[in-house]
Amino acid sequence: MSETDPQTAYDRLHERAERVGGLETIDNLLFWDQQVMMPAGGTPGRSMQRGLVSSLQHEALVGDDVAGWLDAVAEADLDEDQQAVVREVRRDHERKAAVPRELEERRNGVISEANAAWEEARENDEWETFAPYLEELVELTRTQAEHIDPNAEPFDVILGEYEPYLDVENVEAVFEDLKETLVPLIDDIRASDADPGGVFEANGPYDEETQMALSEDALSFVGCDWDRARLDTSPHPFSYGNRHDMRITTRFHKASIIGGLSSSLHEYGHASYEHGLDEAAFPDPLGQSRSHGIHESQSRFWENHVGRTEAFWVEFLPEVQSQFSQLSAVTPREAYEAANRVNEENFIRVEADEVTYHLHVLIRFEIERDLVNGDLDVEDVPQVWNDKYEDYLGIRPETDSDGCLQDIHWSIGRIGSFQGYTLGTVFAAQLTNALEEDLGESVESLVADRRFDDLREWMGEHVHLHGKRYPTDELVEVATGEPLTAEYFLDYVTEKYEALYEL
């Protein structure tokens, strides 16, 4: 058959999409190894390897053959799934083809070097060590945006890398709704005489080896498929992999077990999403996760709507106490309250409570937008970061390690991705509401009965199995019956914390 025959052209596009998806899984594994297992001197070799994979992905997407196949299928009679595959390949092709290959290769080379520089800078509290790499990455990111759409706001273009089919206006609307409710709620909490307590901090320290065992027990408790996952530590928690092989990482703090447990459950949520993707479609677009925000909805669901429930602590506290005997007198209620305590002095986003968390994200969103749009110089980031923390949260970091060097995202090139954490949190609450209406039971009661399979199956049916079948905004409506809204999260967080702080 001719390459211009619509069915043949579609078959070729589908094969190419699978190739690109497979290369992505290779890069994910290379990145995980760099963070967890690779010796310190391996950076130059890893830079070459990841650059080669990126080059192969670029070639697979931007060739004239792909453009020809896309033209050939434009008027083809395709079913809905085939149309979705073509839509996603076309979008990726157009964005990739707009960016010169040399620019992409240079960017990936800088990323490999920047990650090692970030680790050194964070350890030594030296912004100057990382700043030159960030400056180059920001410039390359801005140039990338200009190639894709020279008439659009650069940050809006880059946001599309992580949140396809959403734009800055969507994100700003969510943040405005959150600020309107969360800022006064935080003020009320600060003024409250109630204190949910800190029983975990009071009974520390906790050794990391036992905390690792506890995190493994927690993931086993909620039903982690260890045949397709493993848990390690890294400087900043993350999860990479594919539906057959998820690499979960976490980190621990001696002062409390909450940070490590929450991080592990959060990253397990990412793994559950990948594990739930359609095996028959993997690794084409219908077997891939939809977006950063949708991914975060799964991690925030397991971290907060499961791991921060009182039912979770009723059921799991005995295992905690078997690992740490100093907690033998702690009650489930005390553990629940401690797990949900609002820490007004916390500087670290991944350790933030549900209420203050989104101001951490908002600060990063605003800084990234100004960086990419050319309204902020890299050398001024520490000052602006600290000023925003003082303005929004009433605290000021004393070190850059606790401030602008705390996140791994910039060093791995994920500039423009932070808003996904808030979008995911909002969507997680919306999904929780839809799940409870559909099943006729609360998540709290399902956790109390240890029916974690029911939670996974519902998420699988309504989110995971769709892959990239729908644009992001459509997936939200398909899963919940209505557009993305902050209403359910704001109702949830207000009711929960007004009760905890007796407001």
* Average of per-residue pLDDT across 224-232: 98
pLDDT of residue 120: 95
Q: What's the pTM value of the predicted model, to 2 decimals?
A: 0.92
pLDDT of residue 246: 97
* Average of per-residue pLDDT across 187-203: 90
Type of residue numbered 284: D
What are the strands of the beta sheet with 239-242, ordered from one edge? 229-233, 245-250, 239-242
Least confident span in 91-105, 306-320, 451-465, 480-494: 91-105
pLDDT mean across residues, the chain: 94
Range(s) of the chain covered by CATH 1.10.1370.30: 168-500
Distance CA 141, CA 108 (A): 11
Better-predicted residue by pLDDT, 301 or 105: 301
| pLDDT band (50, 70, 90) for residue 147 | very high
| pLDDT band (50, 70, 90) for residue 198 | confident
Residue 206, CB half-sphere, CA atoms under 13 Å: how many? 31
Q: Give yes or no for residue 47 having a pLDDT over 90.
A: no
* Average of per-residue pLDDT across 456-460: 98
Q: Give yes or no for residue 230 having a pLDDT over 60.
A: yes
Q: Give yes or no for residue 1 having a pLDDT over 70.
A: no
The residues that are catalytic are 267
Distances in whole angstroms, Cα of residue 336 to Cα of each of 18, 30, 104, 252, 350 = 45, 38, 47, 19, 19
Q: How far is CA 213 from the centre of its chain?
A: 24
Distance CA 109, CA 106 (A): 5
CB 411 within 8 A of CB 114: yes
Residue 416, CB half-sphere, CA atoms under 13 Å: how many? 28
**What is the CATH code of the structural domain delimited by 168-500?**
1.10.1370.30
Distance CA 113, CA 46 (A): 9
To the nearest 10°, the Cα dihedral for 88, 55, 31, 21? 30
pLDDT of residue 112: 79
Q: Give yes or no for residue 102 having a pLDDT over 90.
A: no
What totals of helices (H) and strands (E) does the chain contain, helices first?
21, 3
pLDDT of residue 71: 94
Find all residues with CB under 8 Å of 48, minimum gap 6, and list them: none
Type of residue numbered 286: L
Q: Give yes or no for residue 108 having a pLDDT over 90.
A: no
Task: Enter the tokens of residue 305.
Answer: 């709507």
pLDDT of residue 174: 94
To the nearest 10°, the Cα dihedral for 405, 409, 415, 419? -100
Q: Give yes or no for residue 2 having a pLDDT over 70.
A: no
Q: Whose CA is closest to 248, among 199, 130, 265, 489? A: 265
Distances in whole angstroms, Cα of residue 366 to Cα of each of 360, 396, 495 = 10, 17, 28
CB 107 within 8 A of CB 31: no
Q: Give yes or no for residue 75 having a pLDDT over 90.
A: no
* Average of per-residue pLDDT across 224-233: 97
pLDDT of residue 63: 85
Find all residues with CB under 8 Å of 80, minimum gap 6, and list them: 469
Distance CA 384, CA 400 (A): 12
Residue 254, CB half-sphere, CA atoms under 13 Å: how many? 2
Where b means 16+ CB within 10 Å and e means fewer, 463-494 reads bbbbbbbbbbeebbeebbeeebbbebbbebbe
Least confident span in 33-37, 194-198, 205-209: 194-198
Residue 339, CB half-sphere, CA atoms under 13 Å: how many? 30
Q: Mind listing the pLDDT tens digit for each residue in 467-494?
A: 999 999 999 999 999 999 999 999 999 9
| pLDDT band (50, 70, 90) for residue 3 | low
The H-assigned helical ranges of 244-340 are: 258-276, 292-300, 310-323, 332-339
